[in-house]
Amino acid sequence: MDTQWLPKRDPAFYEHKEYIVDIATKTTVRPYRLIVVHSWSLDKRKAKTLAKNLLKQRDELEPQLEQLANVEFACEPDARVALDRVRNENRNALYEITGTCKPRKQSQEDPGQAGLVKANPCLPGLSIE
């Protein structure tokens, strides 16, 4: 068979490791033998795929998180519920979604009070960062 036209690939190298783990069922705990096999030849392709998936997921998450950051909440519990909802909707994401609820700076009627942060967390102006 003439193989000159076939692209040359790096030889495959494999590494394996054996583990014994206990897995609990409803009635008992049973030992299971697990074998993990790693192929070095697929690393570059898998790394490219992972990088591509990370970028795609970031591009999907950023607008959603920016929209959430622009919402003004009436109180901290409302903001926390919204943040938890976004975390739950994206729980399988490769990124960890974190955030804090902080009062936004708002000017008061008195010009000398401009730029102060309201102390009461249930006053309008709470946002997620």
User: pLDDT confidence of 2, banded at 50, 70, 90?
Assistant: low
Is it the case that residue 3 has pLDDT exceeding 80? no
Read off the pLDDT of each residue in 45-57 and give the average, rounded to a whole number: 84
> Which bin fits 125, alpha (ψ -120 to 50), beta or left (φ > 0)?
left
Contact of 128 with 69, CB cutoff 8 Å: yes
d(CA 94, CA 82): 20
Read off the pLDDT of each residue in 26-46 and give the average, rounded to a whole number: 81
What pLDDT is attached to residue 129?
A: 55
d(CA 96, CA 76): 21
In tens, the pLDDT along 110-127 reads 455 444 444 444 434 445
What pLDDT is attached to residue 95?
A: 81
Q: Where are the domains of the chain?
A: 14-128
Read off the pLDDT of each residue in 43-69 and give the average, rounded to a whole number: 85
Is it the case that residue 78 has pLDDT exceeding 70? yes
Nearest 5°: phi and psi at 126? -85, 135
Read off the pLDDT of each residue in 20-34 and give the average, rounded to a whole number: 88
